[in-house]
Amino acid sequence: MKIYDTKTAPTPRRVRIFLAEKGIEMEYVQVDIEKGENLSKHMRAKNPIGKVPILELDDGTCISESDAICTYFEALQPAPYLFGETALEKGQVMMWQRQVEFCLFMQIGMCFQHSTGYFKDRMTPVPEYGKEAGINAVKFLKVLERRLEQSEYIAGDKYSIADITAFCSIDFARVVDIKLGDEHPQLTRWYQQMRNRPSAKA
């Protein structure tokens, strides 16, 4: 099996970190999204919407979307549990994963796409939308700051996929000048923990 990947993009990085946490080695095939390689007929046959990452199994079956790929590997190799182990943990992890994805990861992505015009050859940037998305992302950092006053990790006392998504979000946010500051002591503490994990280099 192999994963079609783009090293500079935040979404594929989530999968790489997830697999590194589980100790799963993988063949990665690099796709140049700046040049639009992901939009080729060959790649759209693997994922009709032309996004990476894509997991291709040995029989040719393809699974796209980072959450779906991670879910597949969690089922294959549950430990360490990154989606939670008990019913309660699973519910809490997925709750925070969804909130981080919608309120931080996607907002930063929209801020990047609509503010920078990086993909203007294939979409119509709306600068006002990009600005608003950035504002929304900054607001959600306050939510995470309050959450991390109560727990070591975002979904509770165990590291999870919600931490991976938040970490990749905050790292990528620097390209649109959204950074942690003095008003984020708990997030800064948590972020340093994330950076110190070997998987952060994946």
pLDDT tens digit string along 151-199? 999 999 999 999 999 999 999 999 999 999 999 999 999 999 999 999 9
Single-letter amino acid, residue 194: M
Query: Are 17 and 172 a contacting pair, CB within 8 Å?
Result: no
CB neighbours of residue 2 within 10 Å: 13
Query: Are 52 and 33 a contacting pair, CB within 8 Å?
Result: yes
Structural domains present in the chain: 2-76 (3.40.30.10), 87-201 (1.20.1050.10)
pTM recorded for the entire structure? 0.96
pLDDT of residue 72: 98
Give 65-75 pLDDT, tens digit per residue: 999 999 999 99
